[in-house]
Structure 1
Amino acid sequence: MTATRAVLSAGSNIGDRLGHLNSVVERFADDLVAVSPVYSTPPWGGVEQEDFYNITLIVEGPHGPYEWLTIGAELEEAADRTREVRWGPRTLDVDVITVSEAGDVVHSDDPRLLLPHPRAADRAFVLVPWLAIEPDATLWTPAGVQPVATLIDRIDPAERAGVVPVAQLPVARPR
């Protein structure tokens, strides 16, 4: 397997939010390139619930797109994640935002793993933390490759203002 590079987003709004996010950083430590600060973000999707803590990670390693997804799902399971309400509260959510292999963006229409993530370009809680760790980040969209900074500028200012840094997780050994 050729090494791939992935951008992952993780969020938590039930229980030990920082602890759940820290479990993600610890699990991906061997592949970690960068991890954003922790941001407090309002819930997305209209379900009444507590604010989330979110991070974005950049990882690189000998894993294919489905392996990144599987590792995220294992972390969610370890955190006792349940899927009762779409966009509802959760102990941990780990999403694969985009994957590249040999510099090429991986595209997938598989309902289990849509790549690049079809709603990432509209979500400040993904883009703001990502831009914090990769100022030149770009995301493939149906309109073409877009700078993440440009995508953020298109999001409602009130939504952007709701993404507030609150903490920095300890990182054992980022590359």
Structure 2
Amino acid sequence: MNAAPIGKPVRMRVGVPAVLAFGSNLGDRAVTIQQALDAVRGEPGIDVQSVSRLYETPALKLDGIDDDAPAYLNAVAVVRTLLEPLDLLGVVNAIEDGLGRVREERWGDRTIDIDVVDYDRIVSDDDPRIVLPHPRAHERAFVLVPWLDADPQAYLVGYGPVADLVKTVDDPVTLWTGPGTDAS
């Protein structure tokens, strides 16, 4: 029988919690979000802990809700990651690019959008590429409702329990029940 070599103990890194928000309003929205989630699951250094159900919301543009634009499907994933915030952002941006994301118009229609909403409850605006927590998460039902679904104990640093924040927002969010309303 061979004994294991004696040496330094091996430390397993557990990672830090992070929250990713997914949105899609072009193409087969549900399939695109599933592909994005699968890609996140396949990334080394990211462990998906829980995922919300899909929620449908009207398109939100710079001027407010645009009922003429295709509606969004939204979801949230709670993850643990070994990646630093900018590395995590780079991974989700690469996934967006791989799924056909085009960045022509701020808050424009898109095949997929993946935001880093929270990273280990860090508050930071030191780097313009990533502000933590996401600067508008506390006022967006399309983030808060799915986040609460994925984690009933969710807490947004600087703002409080997500369960309390959900009560303060009024943009419409509906649990999505199937392909009948898909924008193709």
TM-score by length of 1: 0.83
Superposed CA RMSD: 1.7
CA distance in 2, matches of 1:138, 1:167: 27
Alignment counterpart, residue 58 of structure 2, candidates 26, 37, 42: 42
Secondary structure, counterpart of 2:35 in structure 1: helix
Between stretches 106-115 and 86-95, larger displacement belongs to: 106-115
**Amino acid in the other structure paired with 1:88:** G
Is the CA contact 1:4–1:64 (under 8 Å) kept in the aligned structure 2? no
Please give the residue correspondences for 1:64-83 in structure 2 after superposition, counting only pairs within 5 Å: 64-83=84-103
Give the number of aligned pairs. Answer: 157
2:29 corresponds in structure 1 to: 17
- Deviation for aligned residue 1:28: 2.2
Please give the residue correspondences for 1:89-128 in structure 2 after superposition, counting only pairs within 5 Å: 89-100=109-120, 105-109=121-125, 110-128=127-145
CA distance in 2, matches of 1:80, 1:28: 16
2:9 corresponds in structure 1 to: none
Deviation per CA, 1:25-81: give whole Å up to 9, x if none: 112226110000011111112354110011000011211111221111011101111
Give the % identical residues: 39
CA distance in 1, matches of 2:75, 2:177: 10
CA distance in 2, matches of 1:11, 1:114: 19
Deviation per CA, 1:121-169: give whole Å up to 9, x if none: 000000000001211111012xxx401011111112xx2xx2111159x
Between stretches 43-52 and 107-116, larger displacement belongs to: 43-52
- Deviation for aligned residue 1:98: 0.4
Is the CA contact 1:37–1:167 (under 8 Å) kept in the aligned structure 2? no
1:139 corresponds in structure 2 to: 156
Structure 1's consecutive aligned runs of 4 or more residues displaced over 2 angstroms after TM superposition are 45-48
Secondary structure, counterpart of 2:20 in structure 1: strand
**Amino acid in the other structure paired with 1:166:** W
Flag structure 1 segments of 5+ consecutive residues without an equivalent. 169-175
2:49 corresponds in structure 1 to: 33
CA distance in 2, matches of 1:139, 1:24: 23
**Amino acid in the other structure paired with 1:133:** A
Structure exhibiting the larger radius of gyration computed from Cα positions: 2
CA distance in 2, matches of 1:20, 1:165: 17
Flag structure 2 segments of 5+ consecutive residues without an equivalent. 1-12, 179-184
